[in-house]
Chain A
Amino acid sequence: MSTNGSHFVSLQGITKRFEDLEVLHGIDLDVGEHEVVCLIGASGSGKSTLLRCINLLEQVDAGTIVVDGQTITGTKVDVNRLRQKIGIVFQSYNLFPHMTVLQNVTLAPRKALGISRGEAEGRARALLRQIGLEDKADEFPDRLSGGQQQRVAIVRALATEPKLMLLDEITSALDPQLIGEVLELVRELAETGMTMILATHEMSFAREVANKVCFLDAGVIREEGEPDQIFSSPREERTREFLARVLEGGRL
């Protein structure tokens, strides 16, 4: 799928600095359509920053990003249009607490895409039904469990019908018993052919769903490859060290 020229997302030489701290030093990454790429690495290795650069929540200092044939790092990019095509889900859900679940999910379709309220609500209810939360449509987010909130956040990101999903450690804030339901939803999403880039600490999940795993270390991709290769026979010393530490933590 990821033959040259058919990349859905292509990053070249991405560099990002915060003040004088360089968090990304020249990242190259290609993601084919329908591919799932997992970014692994310690906290602070630049996974989140990289994801935020791809939907322009962060401005890159150098490098180019091409998404769906469009170079998005230049000037004259309609960031709002672009972000409707790229969904992102955050570690801390970030649902809007003053809106019901249904309002959370319909806000972007109605206001950003201009879809009528009736149509947006119909679609939102259908999406909520798929994840078994239709009965929560009129509840406020604080009435939902963490797992339910995160699934609503995923549905909210899906409501603008994006072609790419970025998932930023979406299970890290969840109690262990709630992680499963969220991962199940991501798994289903992968099966529908959604192109996804996810930063995750769930190594066994990464191994299961990813087409490609990238190990980020101090702002560079130290190693990338098929999940089996990365997890079974990592080539780089740093990758081995990282995986050993994670294994000790019992996360594989």
Chain B
Amino acid sequence: MGQFLHEFFSPLDFIRSVPTVWNGFIFNIKLMLAAEALVLPLALLVAIVRGLPGRAAAPFRALAIVYTDFFRGTPLILVLLLVLGFAQLNYLGLNSEALFRVGLISLVLVYTAYVTEVYRAGIESVHPSQRMAARSLGLSYMQTMRYVVLPQAIRRVIPPLLNDFIGLQKDTALISIIGLTEAIVLAGQYVSDFANQTAYLVAAVFFIFLTIPLARFTDHIIRQRERRERAQMA
């Protein structure tokens, strides 16, 4: 038992490995912020394209469907390896900046596909009578989307969207497999250098502390909406 506690919960190793793991964790945070900033608008774009009406838009709709099906169905780890392989066609021995881009592109490709579906569910949840009312006032299709459908849709999907972002934050750890020195890699180095597993616990704590604010924020938004809806019923 003592052996186990020492191996995983050694206070000394905990404190000693914090700076090391933190150095790598900065990468995870950067990657997460950059990916989220790109996923939000890109997924919205794909969701809008997927909903475009008319025969002329059919090829674009098809493209959007193929894209979301492919990247939602492919494990992130495979996408990472494929993007890495693609990047290595031009340069062997990628520097950390290039590896960061590989990780970013992979995360964006996969999570844009997820978030597209979240947006789409939101867009479809807006009652058709809202579109009809907007169109009957002489607003164009795009104006109707911009001013009437999307504001209502986005408000509704914020909780599931934040949930996907929690997944994204955790998945930044997967970039360790392409050799980028992020939190997990550095924790692993500490573990092999000092023959003590506590550094992994440190990494876990970092990830948990990153996702907790987002999780509580999601709860807060859901509660706020419930309160508003109850107030409407009264």
Contacts and interface: CB of A to CB of B under 8 A. Distances in A.
Interface of A: 55, 57, 80-84, 87-88, 90, 92, 94-98, 107-108, 111-113, 142, 156-157, 160
Interface stretch (B14-22, B47-55, B129-137, B178-186): B129-137
Contacts, number: 58
Contact of A90 (B129, B143, B148, B151): B129
A97 B143 contact: no
Interface in B94-148: 129-130, 132-140, 143, 147-148
Interface in B22-66: none
A80 B140 contact: yes
Given A112-B138, A112-B140, 5 more contacts: A83-B136, A84-B137, A87-B136, A107-B134, A107-B137
B148 A96 contact: yes
A156 B152 CA distance: 19
B220 interface: no
Contact of A55 (B136, B155, B232): B136
B90 to A, nearest CB: 46
Nearest to B137: A108
11 contacts: A80-B139, A80-B140, A82-B138, A90-B132, A92-B129, A96-B152, A97-B152, A98-B151, A98-B152, A107-B137, A112-B137
Contacts of B134: 96, 107
A157 B137 contact: yes
Contacts of B155: 98
A102 B135 CA distance: 18
Contacts of A88: 136
A108 B129 contact: no
Contact of A108 (B132, B139, B232): B139
Contacts of B138: 80-84, 108, 112-113, 160
A103 to B, nearest CB: 9
A111 B133 contact: no
A96 B135 contact: no
Contacts of B151: 98
